[in-house]
Chains A and B, each alone.
Chain A
């Protein structure tokens, strides 16, 4: 049918145009990473060129890049693991041993997430300073864990609740103790939820910028810190900057593609299905 075909083509065209437009800056970043510095600042901009891997090598060679990357990895993984260890039992308790207060506690946990970080900046900074923990990985990891804890509890809670109660009752009738129930039924069925919660936490910690810029610098700086140090216009750095940026964001962007659904659930606290 004619009108339908027209509408469909317009839609396809429009969608692709919007997507490409929105993605353009990232795409440009990607391209620039493979250019030489001169090509990077060429006017008019170059779309066709001979790609080179020099920039990546150069960035690799600078030891401080690896340090920052390592720190990002440590703090992200650390906060994810720590967070899961604390959140999983809490969520389990709230899902399976529900009381009248459970809902209020859950709501309260969510509300702590909504306080702006800036509200805690001064005290945390002062505390960290007096504990000698400024510019330390542990302080940053702890802060990340605490920031993400409410979301993790929430997401694990919903994934535990998805396990039908009757299956647990069946296990109980089959003679399972509480621990057996957990090990043989709850755990296998909640692995998916644990994984996606962990993934979300990883993404959030990796991208975290506020605390990373304020609590740490030379020794414990994460990639966010490193990138921010390039903020002064040293124009000839662009290709390398792009390469560095690309290396900083690539894994997370890919993770993000895979964790779309969890993202919606986690960041809207389940308010959108």
Chain B
């Protein structure tokens, strides 16, 4: 009884997650090595590394990779820097602080689909959008965001959504900053900027690392915003790795190539996850 009960309790969770992890992975690996197109029923002959080759030499590949890196990188920079600044701003009490906090975190809970549409029509439409109005107010010609600077537009949308997340994490972390430590530093003669660099920033080091890694993982899978606004275009200017794989699998129906691409994404994510797990693991006990 002593050994059996805990195992029984854990069994459903462990089993389902095991299946969830292994089955798709095994299938993906299998598919990546065969020639399989959903439009062509019949045999799936072994294709060796052909799918990988095809994926990598696809004209969309390198643009997708660089777009992915650009997207992830820019959003991370914007959210971390912005998040820290905002968190510091809100850290001390002031009138209406509660409301400000609520306003600041709201964008995170908006459905990505709504997020996409919101920006596409409300903000970025070159004729009726708010940004267009703003541009005209200052006498400039409005920018056709989605056509002229598609990747930047996506970056803006995604950053808008994730900035509150980073902000919230940093706010939470700042609250655990030891007041007494700050006071000791003041008595030691440290000025405000010095206290910021020597005490606050190091304290935020861990949450920053966590935010960066979590965002890396989720940003790799940015999909809805692209699918709903630019469809990866014009051309492949705003296609990221995820969208490219999607295109291959559900638009070109080439499961083999898509699987090859998916493996790339999985490997990438694994590398990042390994680091994150290390940090989380240290905190576990």
Interface residue ranges, A against B (CB under 8 Å): 8, 11-12, 14-16, 18-20, 22-26, 28-29, 32, 40-41, 43-45, 86-87, 89-90, 92-94, 96-97, 99, 103, 105-107, 109-112, 114-127, 146, 149-150, 153, 178, 203, 206-207, 209-210, 212-214, 223-225, 227-228, 230-231, 233, 235, 238, 241-242, 245, 248-249, 252-253, 255-257, 260-261, 263-264, 267-273
Contact = CB atoms under 8 A, between A and B. Distances in A.
Nearest to A124: B24
Contacts of A210: 221, 223-224
Given A87-B13, A118-B245, A269-B280, A29 B108 contact: no
A14 B89 contact: yes
B245 A22 contact: no
B138 interface: no
Given A121-B249, A271-B283, A22 B160 contact: yes
B106 A26 contact: yes
B280 to A, nearest CB: 5
Contacts of A29: 114, 118, 122
Interface centre among B24, B127, B269 (most CB of A within 10 A): B24
B202 to A, nearest CB: 15
Interface of B: 5-7, 9-10, 12-14, 16-17, 20-21, 23-25, 27-28, 31, 38, 86, 89-90, 92, 94-97, 99-100, 102-114, 116-123, 125, 127-128, 130, 133, 136-137, 160, 163-165, 168-169, 172-173, 176, 206-207, 210-211, 214, 217, 220-221, 223-224, 227-229, 241-242, 245-246, 249-250, 255, 258-259, 262-263, 265-266, 269-270, 272-273, 276-277, 279-281, 283-285
A116 to B, nearest CB: 5
B171 to A, nearest CB: 9
A121 B172 contact: no
Contacts of B92: 11
Q: Which 8 A-B pairs have the closest CB atoms?
A: A256-B109, A90-B13, A97-B6, A123-B27, A209-B224, A93-B9, A120-B24, A114-B273
Given A112-B17, A146-B17, A16 B100 contact: yes
Given A15-B89, A93-B7, A213-B223, 19 more contacts: A11-B94, A15-B97, A18-B86, A29-B114, A115-B266, A115-B269, A117-B221, A119-B262, A120-B20, A121-B246, A122-B28, A123-B23, A149-B17, A203-B109, A231-B229, A242-B122, A245-B117, A252-B111, A271-B206
Contacts of A112: 17, 20-21
A45 B12 contact: no
A256 B108 contact: yes
Contacts of A273: 172-173, 176
Query: A-side binding surface: helix, strand, loop or mixed?
Result: helix
Contact of A114 (B104, B263, B269, B285): B269
B207 A257 contact: no
Interface centre among B13, B112, B266 (most CB of A within 10 A): B13
Contacts of A15: 89-90, 94, 97, 100
A207 B109 CA distance: 8
A209 B173 CA distance: 29
Nearest to A235: B128
A272 B169 contact: yes
A271 B210 contact: yes
Nearest to B269: A116
Given A116-B265, A272-B206, A22 B27 contact: no
